[in-house]
């Protein structure tokens, strides 16, 4: 299961397909490649409802089958689908292999399932309680030239309709719907469900959980990470630190930020809805089976995930890091960087770096003459393992 080249989002092809699917689904005659003013307004209204997860009366959509409302499902297809697909493309790139058999749970219009296909997955099952959402996703993916297997599955009530094990199981943007945090016992139920999913992985398989970067959800994912790690579950990404989450201990957040392509319609929806989002922001976690090992990094070397954007301080630009030996802070004492530390000038939140010969004082690292900074895993790429057979 070697990795293929990273796929491009190909939104120039996909956006017209989405608009066409939206138009057929809504059965509103009009131009095939754009929305008319009234249509656009109704999509923006629905995007705002989906974002707030409330209906027009201010009632929560959580716990309701809101995709049975065509306006909401249509707006999801034109906006959130595009974001979630790009999130999927980025994080699925961090698997150490190309997944062959994939199960996407609470798949909606299947943007994560499609992202897995774009990464080379051959047998992809999308499941959801809402068949219309699945079929709409399958239609889009079909017009793109792929085929997607869809199955209705109300996943807390019924047995999984797909047999066997999976190289990748995906749960995207659904934790709060499956296990609302105002429901008694939600955390135990969530953890039991996740455990069941881990049992359905192939020996080298991974479970991918993606959700919003907002604080409550971010903390929920970080807590889940701590629970899993304490139970012996290895993390594939983003953490290389094997102890309790340092961000959570400090009551701060730790989420991923990735570049986002913004087709015209997406930009227009954001502008009209007052959504200020220049990049993809998400909480995510990729874990292996409990009986698998953590990724094998070279022994005796220190690796760090960049967990903040550049922070301007009295001591120049600095980054927060979370690494094999815990939380650190990186800056520089050099005005000009030689080739060995030039990478500092281009660091991106989410990259995995290696630091050698820096000036180290407690958790503070400073780049000096002779320091080496190397990018060990670029955004959307897996960590390089010592004993990996690639």
Binding-site ranges for ligand SAM (CB under 6 A): 67, 80, 84, 106-108, 111-112, 128-130, 133, 153-156, 172-174, 177-178
- Separation CA 344–CA 187 (nearest Å): 40
Is 370:340 a contact under the CB 8 Å cutoff?
yes
Cβ proximity of 78 and 140 under 8 Å: no
Query: Which CB sits closer to ligand SAM, 129 or 283?
Result: 129
Cα separation of 99 and 210, whole Å?
Answer: 17
Cβ nearer to ligand SAM, comparing 69 with 324: 69
Question: Angle at Cα 108 formed by Cα 180 and Cα 222, nearest 5°?
Answer: 45
Residue closer to ligand SAM by CB (options 132, 337) is 132
The answer to whether the CB of 318 falls within 8 A of the CB of 311 is yes
CB of 321 to ligand SAM, least distance (A): 29
Handedness of CA 268, 137, 73, 257 (dihedral sign): negative
Report, in Å, the least distance between residue 48 CB and ligand SAM.
15
Q: Which is nearer to ligand SAM, 86 or 329 (CB)?
A: 86
Q: In the complex, what is the shortest distance from the CB of residue 178 to ligand SAM, in angstroms, rounded to a whole number? A: 5
- Residue 264 beta carbon to ligand SAM: minimum distance, rounded to whole angstroms: 21
Nearer CB in complex with ligand SAM: 172/295: 172
Q: How far is the CB of 113 from ligand SAM (least distance, A)?
A: 8
Is residue 312 helix, strand or coil? strand
CA distance 20 to 32: 5
- Taking the least distance from each CB to ligand SAM, the nearer of 63 and 326 is 63
Residues in the chain: 390
**In the complex, which residue's CB is closest to ligand SAM?**
108
Closest distance of CB 154 from ligand SAM, Å: 4
**Dihedral pair phi/psi, residue 173, rounded to 5°:** 55, 45
């Amino acid at each position: 299961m070697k990795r293929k080249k990273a796929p491009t989002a190909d939104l120039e092809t996909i956006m017209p397909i989405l608009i066409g699917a939206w138009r057929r689904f809504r059965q509103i005659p009009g131009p095939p490649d754009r929305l008319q003013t009234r249509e656009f307004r109704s999509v923006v209204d629905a995007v705002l409802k989906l974002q707030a997860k409330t209906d027009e009366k201010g009632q929560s959509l959580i716990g309701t089958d809101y995709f049975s409302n065509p306006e909401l499902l249509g707006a999801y297809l034109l906006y959130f689908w595009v974001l979630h697909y790009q999130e999927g493309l980025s994080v699925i790139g961090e698997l150490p292999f190309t997944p062959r058999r994939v199960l996407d749970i609470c798949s909606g219009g299947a943007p994560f399932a499609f992202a897995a296909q774009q990464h080379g997955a051959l047998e992809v099952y999308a499941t959801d309680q809402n068949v219309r959402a699945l079929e709409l996703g399958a239609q889009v993916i079909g017009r793109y030239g792929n085929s997607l297997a869809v199955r209705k599955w109300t996943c807390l009530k019924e047995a999984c309709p797909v047999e066997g094990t999976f190289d990748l199981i995906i749960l995207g943007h659904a934790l709060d719907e499956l296990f609302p945090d105002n429901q008694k016992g939600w955390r135990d139920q969530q953890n039991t469900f996740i455990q069941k999913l881990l049992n359905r992985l192939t020996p080298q398989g991974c479970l991918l959980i993606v959700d919003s970067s907002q604080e409550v959800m971010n903390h929920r994912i970080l807590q889940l990470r701590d629970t899993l790690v304490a139970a012996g579950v290895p993390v594939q990404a983003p953490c290389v630190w094997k102890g309790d989450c340092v961000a959570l201990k400090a009551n701060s957040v730790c989420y991923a930020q990735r570049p986002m392509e913004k087709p015209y319609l997406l930009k227009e929806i954001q502008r009209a809805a007052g959504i200020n989002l220049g990049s993809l922001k998400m909480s995510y976690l990729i874990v292996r089976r409990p009986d698998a090992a953590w990724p094998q990094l070279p022994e005796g070397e220190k690796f760090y995930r960049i967990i903040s954007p550049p922070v301007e301080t009295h001591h120049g630009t600095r980054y927060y890091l979370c690494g094999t030996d815990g939380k650190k802070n990186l800056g520089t004492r050099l005005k000009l960087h030689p080739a060995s530390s030039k990478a500092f000038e281009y660091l991106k939140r989410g990259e995995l770096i290696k630091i050698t010969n820096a000036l180290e004082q407690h958790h503070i690292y400073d780049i000096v003459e002779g320091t080496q900074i190397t990018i060990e895993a670029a955004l959307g790429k897996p960590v390089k393992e010592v004993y990996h057979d690639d």
